[in-house]
Chains A and B, each alone.
Chain A
Amino acid sequence: MTPMKELYEAILTGNRDAAAELTRQALEGSVDPQSLIDGAMIPAMAEVGRRFEEEEYFVPELLLSARAMKTALELISPLLSETGAPSKGCVVMGTVQGDLHDIGKNLVSAMLEGAGFDVVDLGADVSPEKFVATVEENGASLVGLSVLLTVTMPSMTSTIEALEAAGLRDRVKILVGGAPLSAEHADAIGADAYADNATAAVRAAHELVGA
Protein backbone atom coordinates (compact mmCIF):
# COMPACT_ATOMS: atom_id res chain seq x y z
CA MET A 1 0.00 0.00 0.00
CA THR A 2 1.37 3.45 -0.86
CA PRO A 3 1.82 5.97 1.96
CA MET A 4 -0.96 8.04 0.40
CA LYS A 5 -3.30 5.07 0.41
CA GLU A 6 -2.31 4.28 4.00
CA LEU A 7 -3.22 7.81 5.10
CA TYR A 8 -6.50 7.53 3.21
CA GLU A 9 -7.27 4.28 5.06
CA ALA A 10 -6.24 5.71 8.44
CA ILE A 11 -8.67 8.60 8.03
CA LEU A 12 -11.41 6.41 6.61
CA THR A 13 -11.16 4.01 9.56
CA GLY A 14 -10.81 6.84 12.08
CA ASN A 15 -7.34 5.84 13.29
CA ARG A 16 -6.02 9.12 14.66
CA ASP A 17 -2.62 7.85 15.77
CA ALA A 18 -1.91 6.21 12.43
CA ALA A 19 -3.09 9.31 10.55
CA ALA A 20 -0.72 11.50 12.57
CA GLU A 21 2.23 9.17 12.19
CA LEU A 22 1.73 8.69 8.45
CA THR A 23 1.41 12.44 7.94
CA ARG A 24 4.61 13.08 9.89
CA GLN A 25 6.48 10.47 7.88
CA ALA A 26 5.21 11.87 4.61
CA LEU A 27 6.16 15.44 5.52
CA GLU A 28 9.61 14.31 6.69
CA GLY A 29 9.95 12.57 3.36
CA SER A 30 9.37 15.92 1.66
CA VAL A 31 5.98 15.00 0.25
CA ASP A 32 4.13 18.09 -0.97
CA PRO A 33 1.65 18.92 1.85
CA GLN A 34 -1.05 19.91 -0.63
CA SER A 35 -0.80 16.51 -2.26
CA LEU A 36 -1.65 14.87 1.09
CA ILE A 37 -4.80 16.92 1.21
CA ASP A 38 -5.76 16.33 -2.39
CA GLY A 39 -4.61 12.73 -2.59
CA ALA A 40 -5.66 11.35 0.79
CA MET A 41 -7.67 13.63 3.04
CA ILE A 42 -10.30 14.99 0.67
CA PRO A 43 -10.95 11.60 -0.97
CA ALA A 44 -11.10 9.90 2.44
CA MET A 45 -13.59 12.40 3.82
CA ALA A 46 -15.63 12.21 0.63
CA GLU A 47 -15.84 8.45 1.12
CA VAL A 48 -16.74 8.99 4.80
CA GLY A 49 -19.52 11.31 3.63
CA ARG A 50 -20.75 8.74 1.15
CA ARG A 51 -20.79 6.02 3.78
CA PHE A 52 -22.62 8.33 6.21
CA GLU A 53 -25.25 9.15 3.62
CA GLU A 54 -25.60 5.47 2.67
CA GLU A 55 -25.88 4.59 6.39
CA GLU A 56 -22.80 2.44 6.41
CA TYR A 57 -21.30 4.96 8.83
CA PHE A 58 -23.04 6.64 11.75
CA VAL A 59 -22.17 9.43 14.19
CA PRO A 60 -19.36 7.50 16.01
CA GLU A 61 -17.55 6.58 12.79
CA LEU A 62 -17.99 10.07 11.34
CA LEU A 63 -16.58 11.67 14.48
CA LEU A 64 -13.60 9.29 14.52
CA SER A 65 -12.74 9.97 10.87
CA ALA A 66 -13.17 13.72 11.37
CA ARG A 67 -10.82 13.62 14.33
CA ALA A 68 -8.20 11.64 12.40
CA MET A 69 -8.51 14.10 9.51
CA LYS A 70 -8.18 17.14 11.78
CA THR A 71 -5.14 15.66 13.51
CA ALA A 72 -3.43 15.22 10.14
CA LEU A 73 -4.56 18.64 8.97
CA GLU A 74 -3.09 20.34 12.04
CA LEU A 75 0.31 18.97 11.04
CA ILE A 76 -0.11 20.07 7.44
CA SER A 77 -1.75 23.49 7.90
CA PRO A 78 1.35 25.45 9.04
CA LEU A 79 3.12 24.32 5.88
CA LEU A 80 0.18 25.26 3.66
CA SER A 81 0.14 28.87 4.80
CA GLU A 82 3.78 29.08 3.75
CA THR A 83 2.97 27.91 0.25
CA GLY A 84 -0.27 29.86 -0.07
CA ALA A 85 -2.19 26.76 -1.06
CA PRO A 86 -5.59 27.18 -2.67
CA SER A 87 -8.80 26.88 -0.70
CA LYS A 88 -12.38 26.46 -1.80
CA GLY A 89 -13.26 29.51 0.26
CA CYS A 90 -13.79 30.55 3.84
CA VAL A 91 -16.84 29.32 5.73
CA VAL A 92 -17.91 30.87 9.04
CA MET A 93 -19.79 28.26 11.06
CA GLY A 94 -21.73 28.53 14.31
CA THR A 95 -24.80 27.55 16.30
CA VAL A 96 -27.02 30.60 16.65
CA GLN A 97 -27.42 32.74 19.74
CA GLY A 98 -29.10 31.12 22.74
CA ASP A 99 -28.51 27.58 21.48
CA LEU A 100 -25.73 25.48 22.97
CA HIS A 101 -26.12 22.39 20.79
CA ASP A 102 -23.21 21.71 18.53
CA ILE A 103 -22.87 18.04 17.57
CA GLY A 104 -24.43 18.50 14.14
CA LYS A 105 -22.61 21.76 13.55
CA ASN A 106 -19.28 20.14 14.49
CA LEU A 107 -19.87 17.33 12.02
CA VAL A 108 -20.61 19.83 9.24
CA SER A 109 -17.52 21.90 10.12
CA ALA A 110 -15.33 18.82 9.99
CA MET A 111 -16.76 17.62 6.71
CA LEU A 112 -16.35 21.07 5.13
CA GLU A 113 -12.77 21.20 6.35
CA GLY A 114 -12.23 17.72 5.00
CA ALA A 115 -13.59 18.86 1.65
CA GLY A 116 -11.01 21.63 1.38
CA PHE A 117 -12.81 24.68 2.75
CA ASP A 118 -11.23 27.03 5.28
CA VAL A 119 -13.55 26.80 8.27
CA VAL A 120 -13.80 29.37 11.05
CA ASP A 121 -15.94 27.61 13.64
CA LEU A 122 -17.30 30.07 16.18
CA GLY A 123 -18.81 27.36 18.37
CA ALA A 124 -22.28 27.56 19.90
CA ASP A 125 -24.44 30.43 21.20
CA VAL A 126 -22.96 32.87 18.66
CA SER A 127 -24.41 36.37 18.47
CA PRO A 128 -25.39 37.95 15.14
CA GLU A 129 -22.72 40.62 15.75
CA LYS A 130 -20.06 37.95 16.11
CA PHE A 131 -21.08 36.33 12.82
CA VAL A 132 -20.95 39.73 11.09
CA ALA A 133 -17.54 40.63 12.51
CA THR A 134 -16.05 37.24 11.63
CA VAL A 135 -17.37 37.32 8.07
CA GLU A 136 -15.81 40.77 7.64
CA GLU A 137 -12.48 39.78 9.19
CA ASN A 138 -12.09 36.65 7.10
CA GLY A 139 -13.68 37.71 3.85
CA ALA A 140 -15.88 34.64 4.11
CA SER A 141 -17.93 33.54 1.14
CA LEU A 142 -20.23 31.24 3.09
CA VAL A 143 -21.94 31.28 6.48
CA GLY A 144 -23.24 28.08 8.06
CA LEU A 145 -25.93 28.52 10.73
CA SER A 146 -27.11 25.69 12.98
CA VAL A 147 -30.04 25.47 15.40
CA LEU A 148 -31.65 22.74 17.48
CA LEU A 149 -34.23 24.40 19.70
CA THR A 150 -37.52 25.82 18.51
CA VAL A 151 -37.06 28.73 20.91
CA THR A 152 -33.80 29.77 19.25
CA MET A 153 -35.02 29.60 15.66
CA PRO A 154 -35.65 33.39 15.68
CA SER A 155 -31.89 33.86 16.28
CA MET A 156 -31.28 32.42 12.84
CA THR A 157 -33.53 35.06 11.32
CA SER A 158 -31.86 37.86 13.30
CA THR A 159 -28.41 36.65 12.19
CA ILE A 160 -29.44 36.79 8.52
CA GLU A 161 -30.92 40.26 9.12
CA ALA A 162 -27.68 41.40 10.77
CA LEU A 163 -25.66 40.21 7.76
CA GLU A 164 -28.03 42.18 5.52
CA ALA A 165 -27.84 45.28 7.70
CA ALA A 166 -24.04 45.13 7.60
CA GLY A 167 -24.16 45.14 3.80
CA LEU A 168 -22.63 41.66 3.60
CA ARG A 169 -25.55 39.73 2.25
CA ASP A 170 -24.55 39.98 -1.41
CA ARG A 171 -21.05 38.79 -0.53
CA VAL A 172 -21.91 35.69 1.44
CA LYS A 173 -24.14 32.72 0.83
CA ILE A 174 -26.03 31.35 3.81
CA LEU A 175 -26.42 27.64 4.48
CA VAL A 176 -28.67 26.55 7.35
CA GLY A 177 -29.34 23.28 9.12
CA GLY A 178 -30.77 21.80 12.29
CA ALA A 179 -33.52 19.52 13.50
CA PRO A 180 -36.50 21.91 13.54
CA LEU A 181 -35.76 23.39 10.10
CA SER A 182 -37.02 22.55 6.65
CA ALA A 183 -36.22 23.75 3.14
CA GLU A 184 -39.40 25.83 3.23
CA HIS A 185 -38.43 27.50 6.48
CA ALA A 186 -34.91 28.16 5.18
CA ASP A 187 -36.42 29.80 2.15
CA ALA A 188 -38.83 31.84 4.23
CA ILE A 189 -36.07 33.32 6.40
CA GLY A 190 -33.92 34.21 3.40
CA ALA A 191 -31.24 31.52 3.54
CA ASP A 192 -29.67 30.34 0.30
CA ALA A 193 -29.72 26.63 1.08
CA TYR A 194 -30.78 24.06 3.65
CA ALA A 195 -29.09 20.75 4.37
CA ASP A 196 -30.41 18.00 6.60
CA ASN A 197 -27.12 16.16 7.10
CA ALA A 198 -23.38 16.75 6.98
CA THR A 199 -22.85 15.22 3.56
CA ALA A 200 -25.69 17.22 2.05
CA ALA A 201 -24.17 20.34 3.65
CA VAL A 202 -20.86 19.75 1.85
CA ARG A 203 -22.69 19.27 -1.42
CA ALA A 204 -24.70 22.45 -0.87
CA ALA A 205 -21.56 24.40 0.06
CA HIS A 206 -19.91 23.42 -3.22
CA GLU A 207 -22.97 24.49 -5.17
CA LEU A 208 -23.28 27.79 -3.33
CA VAL A 209 -19.71 28.93 -3.86
CA GLY A 210 -19.30 27.31 -7.27
CA ALA A 211 -16.34 25.25 -6.05
Chain B
Amino acid sequence: MANNKRNATLIFFIIAGIVLALLPLAIKKDNVINLLVLFLLYVTLASSWNILGGYTGQTNLGQAAFFGMGSLVTRLMWIGGIPFPISFLTGGVVAVALALLIGVPAFRLRGVYFAIGTLALAQILFITVGNIFPDMSYNPDLANYQIVTRYYLFLGLAVLTIGSAYYLVNSRWGLGMMAVREGEEAAESLGISARKHKLLALTISAFLTGLAGGAFAFYHVSYYLYMPFGAEWTFDPIMMAYIGGTGTIIGPIIGAVFFVGIKQFLLMNVGEYHLIIFGTLFILIVLFLPGGLVEVWKRLQNRLSRSKNHERSNSSNTTNH
Protein backbone atom coordinates (compact mmCIF):
# COMPACT_ATOMS: atom_id res chain seq x y z
CA MET B 1 0.00 0.00 0.00
CA ALA B 2 2.67 2.49 1.07
CA ASN B 3 4.85 1.32 -1.81
CA ASN B 4 2.02 1.77 -4.28
CA LYS B 5 1.42 5.24 -3.00
CA ARG B 6 5.10 6.10 -3.28
CA ASN B 7 5.17 4.81 -6.87
CA ALA B 8 2.06 6.79 -7.71
CA THR B 9 3.67 9.96 -6.33
CA LEU B 10 6.85 9.26 -8.29
CA ILE B 11 4.89 8.72 -11.50
CA PHE B 12 3.01 11.94 -10.87
CA PHE B 13 6.26 13.85 -10.46
CA ILE B 14 7.75 12.33 -13.60
CA ILE B 15 4.67 13.22 -15.66
CA ALA B 16 4.59 16.74 -14.23
CA GLY B 17 8.31 17.10 -15.05
CA ILE B 18 7.83 15.93 -18.65
CA VAL B 19 4.87 18.23 -19.16
CA LEU B 20 6.83 21.19 -17.82
CA ALA B 21 9.83 20.25 -19.96
CA LEU B 22 7.74 20.13 -23.15
CA LEU B 23 5.68 23.21 -22.38
CA PRO B 24 7.96 25.81 -24.05
CA LEU B 25 7.53 23.91 -27.34
CA ALA B 26 3.78 24.44 -27.20
CA ILE B 27 3.59 27.87 -25.57
CA LYS B 28 5.31 30.77 -27.24
CA LYS B 29 3.90 33.53 -25.08
CA ASP B 30 6.58 35.15 -22.96
CA ASN B 31 4.21 36.19 -20.18
CA VAL B 32 3.13 32.58 -19.60
CA ILE B 33 6.76 31.46 -19.54
CA ASN B 34 7.55 34.27 -17.09
CA LEU B 35 4.76 33.15 -14.82
CA LEU B 36 6.07 29.58 -14.93
CA VAL B 37 9.57 30.83 -14.12
CA LEU B 38 8.19 32.63 -11.08
CA PHE B 39 6.35 29.48 -10.04
CA LEU B 40 9.49 27.32 -10.39
CA LEU B 41 11.53 29.87 -8.44
CA TYR B 42 8.97 29.78 -5.62
CA VAL B 43 8.93 25.97 -5.65
CA THR B 44 12.71 26.00 -5.26
CA LEU B 45 12.67 28.58 -2.47
CA ALA B 46 9.78 27.07 -0.52
CA SER B 47 11.15 23.51 -0.85
CA SER B 48 14.66 24.47 0.18
CA TRP B 49 13.33 26.43 3.16
CA ASN B 50 11.31 23.36 4.06
CA ILE B 51 14.43 21.16 4.33
CA LEU B 52 15.61 23.20 7.29
CA GLY B 53 12.35 24.68 8.57
CA GLY B 54 9.93 21.83 7.93
CA TYR B 55 12.04 18.71 8.35
CA THR B 56 14.60 19.88 10.90
CA GLY B 57 12.42 22.35 12.82
CA GLN B 58 14.79 25.33 12.61
CA THR B 59 12.99 28.55 11.64
CA ASN B 60 15.21 30.38 9.20
CA LEU B 61 14.08 33.99 8.86
CA GLY B 62 17.05 34.99 6.73
CA GLN B 63 16.57 33.01 3.56
CA ALA B 64 16.74 36.28 1.65
CA ALA B 65 20.37 36.59 2.80
CA PHE B 66 21.31 33.33 1.05
CA PHE B 67 19.17 34.08 -1.98
CA GLY B 68 20.61 37.56 -2.31
CA MET B 69 24.18 36.38 -1.77
CA GLY B 70 23.84 33.73 -4.49
CA SER B 71 22.40 36.31 -6.84
CA LEU B 72 25.00 38.97 -6.03
CA VAL B 73 28.03 36.70 -6.48
CA THR B 74 26.68 35.09 -9.65
CA ARG B 75 25.72 38.40 -11.20
CA LEU B 76 29.01 40.15 -10.48
CA MET B 77 31.12 37.25 -11.72
CA TRP B 78 28.98 36.58 -14.78
CA ILE B 79 28.71 40.22 -15.84
CA GLY B 80 32.44 40.43 -15.14
CA GLY B 81 33.08 37.89 -17.89
CA ILE B 82 33.40 34.59 -16.04
CA PRO B 83 31.41 31.73 -17.67
CA PHE B 84 27.94 31.40 -16.22
CA PRO B 85 28.17 27.81 -14.87
CA ILE B 86 31.21 28.72 -12.74
CA SER B 87 29.58 31.92 -11.48
CA PHE B 88 26.40 30.02 -10.74
CA LEU B 89 28.10 27.34 -8.63
CA THR B 90 30.27 29.89 -6.85
CA GLY B 91 27.10 31.76 -5.88
CA GLY B 92 25.75 28.62 -4.25
CA VAL B 93 29.02 27.93 -2.42
CA VAL B 94 29.29 31.50 -1.08
CA ALA B 95 25.70 31.26 0.17
CA VAL B 96 26.69 28.13 2.10
CA ALA B 97 29.72 29.86 3.57
CA LEU B 98 27.49 32.69 4.74
CA ALA B 99 24.98 30.23 6.19
CA LEU B 100 27.67 28.44 8.19
CA LEU B 101 29.01 31.74 9.45
CA ILE B 102 25.70 32.35 11.21
CA GLY B 103 24.64 28.72 11.69
CA VAL B 104 27.71 27.42 13.53
CA PRO B 105 27.43 29.88 16.42
CA ALA B 106 23.63 30.22 16.41
CA PHE B 107 22.94 26.49 16.56
CA ARG B 108 24.83 26.35 19.81
CA LEU B 109 21.90 28.29 21.22
CA ARG B 110 18.31 27.15 21.45
CA GLY B 111 14.98 28.67 20.68
CA VAL B 112 14.60 31.97 18.91
CA TYR B 113 18.28 32.83 18.54
CA PHE B 114 18.71 31.20 15.15
CA ALA B 115 15.54 32.86 13.88
CA ILE B 116 16.39 36.38 14.98
CA GLY B 117 20.06 35.94 14.09
CA THR B 118 19.25 35.03 10.50
CA LEU B 119 16.72 37.86 10.33
CA ALA B 120 19.42 40.31 11.44
CA LEU B 121 21.89 38.87 8.93
CA ALA B 122 19.50 39.42 6.03
CA GLN B 123 18.81 42.97 7.16
CA ILE B 124 22.54 43.76 7.48
CA LEU B 125 23.18 42.55 3.94
CA PHE B 126 20.13 44.35 2.54
CA ILE B 127 21.37 47.68 3.88
CA THR B 128 25.07 47.10 3.14
CA VAL B 129 24.58 45.87 -0.43
CA GLY B 130 22.23 48.81 -1.02
CA ASN B 131 24.97 51.16 0.20
CA ILE B 132 27.71 49.62 -1.93
CA PHE B 133 25.68 49.01 -5.10
CA PRO B 134 22.93 51.62 -5.23
CA ASP B 135 22.64 51.51 -9.03
CA MET B 136 20.70 49.27 -11.35
CA SER B 137 22.64 46.30 -12.74
CA TYR B 138 22.22 45.81 -16.50
CA ASN B 139 22.85 42.73 -18.58
CA PRO B 140 25.19 43.97 -21.35
CA ASP B 141 24.57 40.95 -23.59
CA LEU B 142 20.93 41.67 -24.30
CA ALA B 143 21.05 40.54 -27.94
CA ASN B 144 21.60 36.92 -26.98
CA TYR B 145 18.96 36.84 -24.24
CA GLN B 146 16.71 33.80 -24.52
CA ILE B 147 13.87 33.23 -22.11
CA VAL B 148 13.67 29.48 -22.84
CA THR B 149 17.24 28.90 -21.60
CA ARG B 150 16.27 30.59 -18.33
CA TYR B 151 13.13 28.53 -18.10
CA TYR B 152 15.07 25.27 -18.34
CA LEU B 153 17.56 26.45 -15.76
CA PHE B 154 14.73 27.12 -13.30
CA LEU B 155 13.05 23.83 -14.16
CA GLY B 156 16.29 21.94 -13.60
CA LEU B 157 16.82 23.73 -10.31
CA ALA B 158 13.30 22.95 -9.09
CA VAL B 159 13.76 19.27 -10.03
CA LEU B 160 17.15 19.22 -8.29
CA THR B 161 15.64 20.77 -5.14
CA ILE B 162 12.67 18.42 -4.95
CA GLY B 163 14.90 15.46 -5.81
CA SER B 164 17.44 16.37 -3.10
CA ALA B 165 14.71 16.88 -0.54
CA TYR B 166 13.10 13.56 -1.46
CA TYR B 167 16.39 11.67 -1.37
CA LEU B 168 17.43 13.34 1.87
CA VAL B 169 14.27 12.70 3.86
CA ASN B 170 14.25 9.05 2.89
CA SER B 171 17.83 8.61 4.03
CA ARG B 172 19.32 8.01 7.48
CA TRP B 173 20.22 11.69 7.68
CA GLY B 174 16.64 12.69 6.94
CA LEU B 175 15.35 10.47 9.73
CA GLY B 176 17.89 12.06 12.06
CA MET B 177 16.74 15.54 11.03
CA MET B 178 13.13 14.70 11.82
CA ALA B 179 14.18 13.22 15.15
CA VAL B 180 15.91 16.51 15.96
CA ARG B 181 12.75 18.39 15.04
CA GLU B 182 10.61 16.24 17.33
CA GLY B 183 12.88 16.69 20.34
CA GLU B 184 16.55 17.55 20.56
CA GLU B 185 17.16 15.90 23.91
CA ALA B 186 15.50 12.65 22.85
CA ALA B 187 17.46 12.63 19.58
CA GLU B 188 20.75 13.30 21.38
CA SER B 189 20.02 10.52 23.87
CA LEU B 190 19.81 8.10 20.91
CA GLY B 191 23.22 9.21 19.70
CA ILE B 192 21.99 11.59 17.00
CA SER B 193 24.07 14.76 16.92
CA ALA B 194 21.53 17.58 16.69
CA ARG B 195 24.24 20.06 15.67
CA LYS B 196 25.51 17.96 12.76
CA HIS B 197 22.02 17.34 11.42
CA LYS B 198 21.03 20.96 11.68
CA LEU B 199 24.22 22.06 9.93
CA LEU B 200 23.71 19.53 7.14
CA ALA B 201 20.13 20.69 6.58
CA LEU B 202 21.27 24.32 6.66
CA THR B 203 24.08 23.64 4.15
CA ILE B 204 21.80 21.93 1.63
CA SER B 205 19.05 24.48 2.08
CA ALA B 206 21.43 27.43 1.69
CA PHE B 207 23.17 25.90 -1.33
CA LEU B 208 19.89 25.41 -3.20
CA THR B 209 18.70 28.88 -2.18
CA GLY B 210 22.00 30.36 -3.36
CA LEU B 211 21.62 28.62 -6.72
CA ALA B 212 18.09 30.03 -6.97
CA GLY B 213 19.65 33.45 -6.45
CA GLY B 214 22.11 32.72 -9.25
CA ALA B 215 19.29 31.73 -11.58
CA PHE B 216 17.51 34.95 -10.60
CA ALA B 217 20.62 36.93 -11.58
CA PHE B 218 20.74 35.09 -14.91
CA TYR B 219 17.05 35.69 -15.57
CA HIS B 220 16.69 39.40 -14.88
CA VAL B 221 17.88 41.78 -17.56
CA SER B 222 18.15 44.61 -15.06
CA TYR B 223 17.55 44.81 -11.33
CA TYR B 224 18.89 46.43 -8.19
CA LEU B 225 21.49 44.14 -6.65
CA TYR B 226 20.07 44.64 -3.15
CA MET B 227 16.55 43.69 -4.21
CA PRO B 228 16.93 39.91 -3.72
CA PHE B 229 18.00 40.61 -0.11
CA GLY B 230 14.54 42.04 0.62
CA ALA B 231 12.51 40.42 3.39
CA GLU B 232 9.73 39.33 1.02
CA TRP B 233 12.11 36.67 -0.35
CA THR B 234 12.02 35.13 3.11
CA PHE B 235 8.37 35.62 3.99
CA ASP B 236 6.73 34.55 0.76
CA PRO B 237 8.43 31.12 0.65
CA ILE B 238 7.65 30.57 4.35
CA MET B 239 4.00 31.37 3.74
CA MET B 240 3.94 28.96 0.80
CA ALA B 241 5.58 26.16 2.77
CA TYR B 242 3.08 26.56 5.63
CA ILE B 243 0.00 26.95 3.44
CA GLY B 244 0.91 23.81 1.50
CA GLY B 245 2.20 21.87 4.49
CA THR B 246 5.66 21.88 6.06
CA GLY B 247 7.61 18.68 6.52
CA THR B 248 6.23 17.14 3.32
CA ILE B 249 7.68 17.07 -0.18
CA ILE B 250 4.48 18.04 -1.95
CA GLY B 251 3.42 20.75 0.53
CA PRO B 252 5.71 23.58 -0.62
CA ILE B 253 4.86 22.77 -4.26
CA ILE B 254 1.14 23.01 -3.55
CA GLY B 255 1.82 26.19 -1.59
CA ALA B 256 3.68 27.69 -4.56
CA VAL B 257 0.92 26.75 -7.02
CA PHE B 258 -1.62 28.23 -4.66
CA PHE B 259 0.42 31.39 -4.05
CA VAL B 260 1.12 32.15 -7.70
CA GLY B 261 -2.39 31.21 -8.81
CA ILE B 262 -4.24 33.20 -6.15
CA LYS B 263 -1.86 36.12 -6.54
CA GLN B 264 -2.64 36.36 -10.26
CA PHE B 265 -6.33 35.97 -9.59
CA LEU B 266 -6.45 38.55 -6.80
CA LEU B 267 -4.23 41.03 -8.64
CA MET B 268 -6.77 40.98 -11.46
CA ASN B 269 -9.79 41.28 -9.18
CA VAL B 270 -9.02 43.08 -5.93
CA GLY B 271 -5.63 44.65 -6.59
CA GLU B 272 -3.38 45.17 -3.60
CA TYR B 273 -5.30 43.03 -1.16
CA HIS B 274 -3.65 39.72 -1.98
CA LEU B 275 -0.99 39.97 0.73
CA ILE B 276 -3.62 40.73 3.37
CA ILE B 277 -5.50 37.60 2.33
CA PHE B 278 -2.30 35.51 2.29
CA GLY B 279 -1.24 36.80 5.68
CA THR B 280 -4.62 35.92 7.16
CA LEU B 281 -4.62 32.47 5.62
CA PHE B 282 -1.07 31.88 6.83
CA ILE B 283 -1.97 32.83 10.42
CA LEU B 284 -5.05 30.60 10.38
CA ILE B 285 -2.97 27.68 9.15
CA VAL B 286 -0.19 28.13 11.72
CA LEU B 287 -2.77 28.34 14.52
CA PHE B 288 -5.34 25.74 13.54
CA LEU B 289 -3.97 23.56 10.78
CA PRO B 290 -0.26 22.99 11.32
CA GLY B 291 -0.24 20.41 8.50
CA GLY B 292 -1.44 22.86 5.85
CA LEU B 293 -3.46 21.94 2.77
CA VAL B 294 -1.79 18.51 2.62
CA GLU B 295 -3.29 17.77 6.03
CA VAL B 296 -6.75 18.83 4.85
CA TRP B 297 -6.46 16.45 1.93
CA LYS B 298 -5.33 13.57 4.18
CA ARG B 299 -8.20 14.14 6.60
CA LEU B 300 -10.69 14.17 3.75
CA GLN B 301 -9.26 10.91 2.42
CA ASN B 302 -9.37 9.34 5.87
CA ARG B 303 -12.95 10.37 6.37
CA LEU B 304 -13.93 8.97 2.98
CA SER B 305 -12.22 5.64 3.55
CA ARG B 306 -13.60 5.43 7.09
CA SER B 307 -17.16 5.98 5.91
CA LYS B 308 -16.61 3.30 3.23
CA ASN B 309 -15.32 0.85 5.85
CA HIS B 310 -18.26 1.80 8.02
CA GLU B 311 -20.71 0.94 5.26
CA ARG B 312 -18.95 -2.33 4.64
CA SER B 313 -19.05 -3.36 8.29
CA ASN B 314 -22.70 -2.29 8.50
CA SER B 315 -23.64 -4.44 5.53
CA SER B 316 -21.71 -7.43 6.92
CA ASN B 317 -23.56 -6.97 10.20
CA THR B 318 -26.91 -7.18 8.49
CA THR B 319 -25.97 -10.38 6.68
CA ASN B 320 -24.99 -11.95 9.99
CA HIS B 321 -28.41 -11.34 11.44
* A-B interaction: no
